[in-house]
Each structure stands twice: as C-alpha cells, then as structure tokens.
Amino acid sequence: MNFTSPPYLTQNVSVQRIMLKVLAALVPAIAAYVYLVGPVILVQIGIASVACLLAEAALLKLRDKPLALFLGDGSALVTAWLIALSFPPLAPWWLVVVGSLFAIVIAKHLYGGLGQNPFNPAMIAFAVCIVSFPALMSQWPPVDMGAGVGEQLALVFGHAPRIDAMNGATPLDALKTALKLGEGHTSVGTIMADAAVFGRVAGRGWEWVAAAYLFGGLWLWQQKVISWHAPLSFIAGMAVLAGSLWLWDPQQFASPLFHLFSGGTLLGAFFIVTDPVSGCTTPKGKLIFGGLAGALAYVIRVFGGYPDGVAFAVLLLNIGVPLIDLYTQPAIFGMKGRKP
C-alpha cells in the first residue's frame, strides 16, 4: 500500500503477512521433526491449531469482535504451532489442549487480545503445563524409538500405556541428572560419550531441529520480519555464560555449542524473544532483553529444577519490558542533549 501524501508507507505490511512468514519459517523445523520422530508432530500441530482457533473464536464472540478479521490474522495459529513444537511430540492430546486454551483465554484475551498481552502466550502455556504436569512435559522420545504411526497416535490419544522406551529425558535433563548422581565423580565428556541420547554437539537428532530453527530464524531476519538485536543478544547471553563456566570447569559444565543446540534455545532466540508485543521495542531494549533472557535461561536450566529455562526466563523478562523500554527510548529528534 503506497500513498502520495504523508505518511508514506514503503511496504505492504500487515499482521497476517507477518504471521504467515513466521509460520513458513517454522516449516523446516517441522520437517525435521517428521523425519526424526514421525508425522505425530503434525497431529499435535493440528490439535493445538483447532484448540487455539476455537478458543479465539469463542472469546472474540464474547467480546463482540469481528471473527473474520481476527481469526484470519494468523496470530492464533502462530501461538498454536509454537505450543505444539515446544511440548513433547508424544504428549497426550488433552495436555496440548489445556496449554492452548490457557494461552488464548488467559494469556491473550484476558489482557485485551492481540497487541495487549504482556506475556508471551506460548511460553505461558509451557510454564503452566510443566509446573502442573512435570512428568508428562519432561518425556521426549529418542529418535530411534521404533514406534509406528499407529503406536504414536495411541500414545497421544491415551489408547496405550506410556512406555519408558518411547519417552525419555531431554539431553539437558539427562546431563543434569547424570552429573548430580555422579556427585563430582563423572564428567560431561564421559556422560556424553556413553549415553545414546547425545550426538556430536547436543542431543542426537535434535541438533537438526535446532539447526532448522536457526535456518528459519535467519530467513525471518533476511525478510526483515525480525531485527538482529534480540536473537543475537539472547544467543550471546547464553553463550558467554556457558562458555565462561565451561572454560572454568569443563568436567562439570557443557560447552556453549551444547547449550545453543539443546532445548529451546534457538526456538526462543528467533521465535520467542522477537515477539513484538511482549518483548522490547527499542533497539537497545531488545539487546538488554535478549541478553538477560539468554543468561537467565542458562542459569535456570543448569542450576534450577527444570530441564530447560527458556520459557521461565522470557516470562520473567516480560515483566521488565516496560521499564527497559522506558530507559532505552532514543532521544526525540532535535532534543538530544537538552534538559527537560
């Protein structure tokens, strides 16, 4: 859309267009999921999408908002896909529905809907569910579990017992548990060499999912959907802290590469901390927000009680966004250096 008089808009930017690009950027990671685990991830995405769209429609109806306009903007679908990708792929269907409903009803519409939510809805869903159902949220299948599509669907829809061989700990959780049980008598290198869950850099197979998030995130940056500030500072915040402790004691702390390609690091860097609503809006603010979130995520995942800390770190930093933006606002044109 272009105008011949001010204000001039040089691009045809809309919420729907941005959301569709975010969905497209997630496709490589979804493809990696399908290759490693199976098409069950597509079922989880479908469940989350239906739950989010139905919840969105119900709340829009209650608030007397136009359904077609807001359902078609794609924001509910982005939330749904992020929930499905951050939850274990073999999580029971009702868990995905609970997370989806909580994200849309409580985290989004309770605060006024699109553009008003102070917290990232998908991360709220993850945090609520991992606190409420820690066992189910911590079971991630190995890439060689050998289960067919029928067995996977039976697990998702509760028609089969949850078998330990099909539901294991994440590489982050496996490493933390082994180090704790070893009580200083074992090292990171020994654990990663002996356990089948680990690959060359991080979790076996899951490294490729992380690489797919990186590819999709770089594409979003190339498309100017996101800026470089928050992703780079998030990665740097985690890498600097992880690297410092690794250099200090490599026997007890994993390398920065392990942490960057494990858990939700790259998903968080490119698809979570870049949220324009719940994140900072100023360039300096994005750098501060991303850096602190990355460092805090590392602290939670290494020293805390949960297998990953991205969701909790982002939500805690969401609280400080207004303050960060307040103190990082650029000077008004022509007023720099002047006293108020």
**d(C-alpha 11, C-alpha 99), whole Å:** 35
Q: What is the pLDDT of residue 340?
A: 44
Q: How far apart are the first and last CA of the chain?
A: 38
Q: Taking the model in full, what pTM does it have?
A: 0.89
Instruction: Enumerate long-range contacts of 23-27, CB under 8 Å, 24 or more apart.
Output: 23/74, 23/77, 23/78, 23/81, 24/216, 24/219, 25/216, 25/217, 25/219, 25/220, 25/225, 25/270, 25/271, 26/81, 26/82, 26/85, 26/216, 26/271, 27/216
Q: What is the pLDDT of residue 2?
A: 44
- Encoding tokens for residue 176? 């933390």
Answer yes or no: are the C-beta atoms of 57 and 71 closer than 8 Å: yes
Answer yes or no: are the C-beta atoms of 55 and 101 closer than 8 Å: yes
Task: Print pLDDT tens along the chain (340 aa).
Answer: 444 444 444 455 688 899 999 999 999 999 999 998 889 999 999 999 999 999 999 999 998 888 887 888 899 999 999 999 999 998 999 999 999 999 999 999 999 888 889 999 999 999 999 999 988 888 887 776 666 788 888 888 886 665 554 556 677 887 877 877 765 557 887 878 776 777 787 878 888 999 999 999 999 999 999 999 999 999 999 999 999 999 999 888 889 999 999 889 999 999 999 999 999 999 999 999 999 999 999 999 999 888 788 999 999 999 999 999 999 988 765 555 554 4
Q: What is the pLDDT of residue 202?
A: 80
Does residue 141 have a cis bond before it (omega within 30 degrees)?
A: no
Beta bridge partners of 168: 140
3-state secondary structure of 140: strand
